[in-house]
Amino acid sequence: MNLLSISASYGALVWIFQEGHLARWLHFTPGPIQTATPVVMFCLIFGLSMDYEVLLLSRVREEYERTGDNVLAVGAGLAQTGRLPAPIARLCRWTSAPAAGGYSAGGG
């Protein structure tokens, strides 16, 4: 799953920013991707997905210890942790929006 999400993110990065498919809507000039960008993306995406996997598996384990049923534990773990990624994604988007817009903390 991590490989799939990272591959999709790299594909979107190239399609949008290097090939310039959304350049008119996002108001930028397409060009080569900086060398550090894929490395930072990998670290961020991999770290977030691993955090979620640990959270999910710990919830499944808690439910399994409570009930002893594998199917019920997986279903309950997915149901109870499935609501978590959406607010976290909104928070990440909200906190990273100024950097994406080109604003810096120094006011420049």
Q: How far, in Å, CA of 54 to CA of 40, rounded? A: 21
**pLDDT confidence of residue 62:** 92
* In 14-86, beta strands by DSSP E: none
pLDDT at residue 27 is higher than 90: no
Q: Would you kindly state where each structural domain of the chain is located, as residue ranges?
A: 2-97
- What stretch of H or E contains 65? helix 36-67
Query: For the whole model, what pTM was predicted?
Result: 0.56
> Tell me: the pLDDT tens digits for 72-108?
999 988 888 877 777 777 777 777 766 666 555 555 4
* In the chain, beta strands by DSSP E: none
**Do 80 and 62 contact (CB within 8 A), yes or no?**
no
